[in-house]
């Protein structure tokens, strides 16, 4: 697996369980890589949907991907505080083309005031039946929802304001090179 360097730009691709491309982010700046994770920043990043629609992200966001957890975390830095969008998804892989993962529909949104919402449960159930998600994946995803909620409640890792500030500051430093 290719390991991108700090300051390098990568593409992120999310797929659905059936292998179809779901969404692509162009030019995510890598802030840190390790054997287990990738931290990056999207800032007015071009996003292309599977149907060809394109849009730009509105604000800077710190993105966190891990090789063992079945989720990824997007910390959006907004005027009213940090909002989080967490995708329940396969652990990432990386090749010459992109960082890749399978999106499993379930999402958790965390608002600046700490309110949490589990989103897209109906979509998850419909796709689980349509694509026949194996029982072990269903179990893994539900267990990872619990892990995510624990991280949110404990303000662990990306859910710490200091973490987001540290990595956003690093992004600003790298952007000025």
Decide if 84 contacts 110 (C-beta within 8 A). yes
Question: Is 153 known as a binding-site position?
Answer: no
Which region holds residue 44: left if phi is over 0, alpha if psi is between -120 and 50, else beta?
A: left
Question: Is 105 known as a binding-site position?
Answer: yes
Active-site residue, from 2, 23, 117, 170: 23
User: For residue 88, how far is the Cα from the chain centroid?
Assistant: 9
Question: Is 72 known as a binding-site position?
Answer: no
Please state, in angstroms and as integers, the Cα–Cα distance from residue 174 to each residue in 34, 65, 77, 154, following that order.
18, 20, 17, 30
Question: Is 120 known as a binding-site position?
Answer: yes
Please state, in angstroms and as integers, the Cα–Cα distance from residue 35 to each residue in 92, 102, 126, 133, following that order.
12, 20, 35, 28
Question: Is 95 known as a binding-site position?
Answer: no
Q: State the residue for tokens 């449960």.
A: 121
Residues in the chain: 177
Question: Is 144 known as a binding-site position?
Answer: no
**Helix (H, G, I), strand (E, B), or coil: what is residue 51?**
coil
Residue 78 appears among annotated catalytic residues:
no
**Helix (H, G, I), strand (E, B), or coil: what is residue 79?**
coil
Residues at the binding site are 87, 103, 105, 107, 120, 123
Active-site residues, by number, are 23
Residues at the binding site for Mg(2+) are 87, 103, 105, 107, 120, 123
């Amino acid at each position: 697996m290719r390991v991108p360097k700090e300051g390098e730009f990568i593409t992120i691709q999310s797929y659905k369980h059936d292998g179809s491309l779901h969404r692509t982010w162009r030019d995510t700046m890598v802030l840190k890589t390790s054997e287990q994770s990738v931290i990056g920043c999207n800032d007015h990043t071009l996003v292309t949907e599977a149907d060809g629609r394109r849009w730009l992200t509105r604000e800077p966001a710190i993105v966190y991907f891990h090789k063992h957890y079945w989720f990824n975390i997007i910390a959006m830095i907004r005027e009213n505080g940090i909002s989080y969008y967490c995708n329940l998804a396969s652990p990432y892989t990386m090749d010459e083309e992109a960082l890749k993962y399978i999106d499993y529909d379930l999402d958790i949104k965390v608002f600046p005031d700490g309110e949490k919402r589990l989103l897209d449960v109906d979509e998850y159930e419909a796709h689980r039946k349509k694509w026949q998600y194996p029982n072990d994946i269903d179990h893994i995803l539900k267990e990872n929802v619990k892990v995510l909620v624990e991280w949110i409640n404990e303000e662990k890792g990306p859910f710490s304001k200091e973490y987001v500030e540290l990595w956003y500051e690093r992004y600003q430093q790298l952007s000025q090179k």
